[in-house]
C-alpha cells in the first residue's frame, strides 16, 4: 500500500511573514499521520521554514546538477540539504519552459539530489497542443524515460504528472484522463525499473483545489497531489490534506 503524499509548491511566492501559514499546515499533518505532507518553499525560506516547523518536510523547488562550482546564482543539492531541506522538485514544467531544461538536465539534477540525501519529486507533463494532437501519453512517457535517473527506487523518488495546460488555469483533465495517464506512467516505470515501479508514488499536479482534490485523489494510480497556488495558505491547503 502506497501512502498518500500531498506536496505544496510555493513557487516564487512567500516571505518570512508567510511562514506563519506553515504552523497550521504542520498541525494538520500531525493530526493525519496516514498522509505524508511536504512543502517546497523558495530557497530564501528553506532554513527558516525547516527551523520553524521541524515536523514538516520542507523542500526546495530545484537544484543544480553540480555539487559545487562556478555557477553564479545557482543552488546545489548539498546547499539546500545543509539549509534543512529533505526533498526537491525537479523538472517542473515552468522550468522546462522558462529555463529551457531538457530531460537530460532533469535527470542530472535528480541524480545530484539523490547523491546528497534528498528525496525527489520528478515532474512530467504535456502541453495542450500535444494533448489535442493525441500525443499526450507518448510525450509524457518519453519525458519520463529521458528524465529518470539511474538506480531510481521508490524510497527516494516520486513522479508528478502535471499537464502543462492545467497549471494555474483552473482547468483539469477528466478523472478518466488522469487515471489513464497515471497508468501509462506506471507502465513506463515498470519497463525502466521493473517491479520497483509498483512502490513509486505518482502524484497529480495542475489546479488542484479543495473542491476537486477528493475526485482526483480517488482516480486510479493517483497516490497524492503536487499543489501550487492552493498550498500558499493553510485555509486552502489543509482541506486537500484532509481529502487525501
- 91: pLDDT confidence band, cut at 50, 70 and 90? very high
- Residue 187's Cα: distance from chain center in Å? 19
Buried b or exposed e, range 25-34, using 16+ CB within 10 angstroms? bbebbeebee
Q: Of residues 21, 64, 92, 137, which has the active-site annotation?
A: 92
pLDDT for 143:
98
By mean pLDDT, which of 13-22, 26-35, 162-171 is the weakest? 162-171
- Mean pLDDT value of segment 218-229: 96
Q: Give me 125's grid cell.
A: 507533463
Check pLDDT > 90 for residue 60: yes
pLDDT for 3:
96
Q: Of residues 94, 101, 137, 162, which has the active-site annotation?
A: 162
By mean pLDDT, which of 105-109, 151-155, 171-175, 179-183 is the weakest? 171-175
Tell me phi and psi for residue 124, to 5 degrees: -140, 155
Cβ within 8 Å of residue 97, ≥6 positions away = 164
Check pLDDT > 90 for residue 5: yes
Tell me phi and psi for residue 22, to 5 degrees: -70, -25
* Phi and psi based region of residue 117 (left: phi greater than 0; alpha: psi -120 to 50; beta: remaining): left
pLDDT for 169:
85
Sign of CA dihedral 37, 111, 199, 226: positive
- 160: pLDDT confidence band, cut at 50, 70 and 90? very high
d(CA 14, CA 41): 8
Domains of the chain: 4-235 (3.20.20.70)
| 71 catalytic residue (yes or no) | no
CA proximity to 232, closest of 4, 6, 9, 5: 9
Task: Please check whether residue 104 is in contact with residue 148, taking contact to mean a CB–CB distance below 8 angstroms.
Answer: no
Encode pLDDT of 161-172 as tens digits.
999 999 888 888
Q: Give me 111's grid cell.
A: 541524480
CA proximity to 2, closest of 28, 25, 33, 35: 35
| 162 catalytic residue (yes or no) | yes
Amino acid at each position: 500500500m502506497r501512502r498518500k503524499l500531498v506536496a505544496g509548491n510555493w513557487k516564487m511566492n512567500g516571505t518570512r511573514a508567510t511562514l506563519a501559514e506553515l504552523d497550521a499546515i504542520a498541525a494538520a499533518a500531525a493530526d493525519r499521520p496516514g498522509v505524508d505532507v511536504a512543502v517546497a518553499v523558495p530557497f530564501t525560506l528553506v532554513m527558516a521554514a525547516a527551523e520553524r516547523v521541524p515536523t514538516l518536510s520542507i523542500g526546495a523547488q530545484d537544484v543544480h546538477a553540480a555539487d559545487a562550482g562556478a555557477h553564479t546564482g545557482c543552488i546545489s543539492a548539498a546547499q539546500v540539504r545543509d539549509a534543512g531541506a529533505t526533498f526537491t522538485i525537479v523538472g517542473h514544467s515552468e522550468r522546462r519552459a522558462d529555463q529551457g531544461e531538457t530531460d537530460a538536465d532533469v535527470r542530472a539534477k535528480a541524480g545530484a539530489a539523490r547523491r546528497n540525501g534528498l528525496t525527489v519529486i520528478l515532474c512530467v507533463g504535456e502541453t495542450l497542443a500535444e494533448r489535442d494532437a493525441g500525443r499526450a501519453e507518448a510525450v509524457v512517457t518519453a519525458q519520463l524515460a529521458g528524465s529518470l535517473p539511474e538506480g531510481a527506487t521508490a524510497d527516494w523518488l516520486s513522479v508528478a504528472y502535471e499537464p502543462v495546460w492545467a497549471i494555474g488555469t483552473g482547468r483539469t483533465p477528466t478523472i478518466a484522463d488522469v487515471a489513464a495517464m497515471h497508468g501509462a506512467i506506471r507502465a513506463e516505470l515498470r519497463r525502466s525499473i521493473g517491479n520497483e515501479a509498483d512502490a513509486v508514488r505518482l502524484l497529480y499536479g495542475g489546479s488542484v483545489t479543495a473542491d476537486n482534490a477528493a475526485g482526483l485523489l480517488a482516480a486510479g494510480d493517483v497516490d497524492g497531489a503536487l499543489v501550487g497556488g492552493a498550498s500558499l495558505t493553510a485555509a486552502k491547503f489543509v482541506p486537500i490534506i484532509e481529502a487525501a
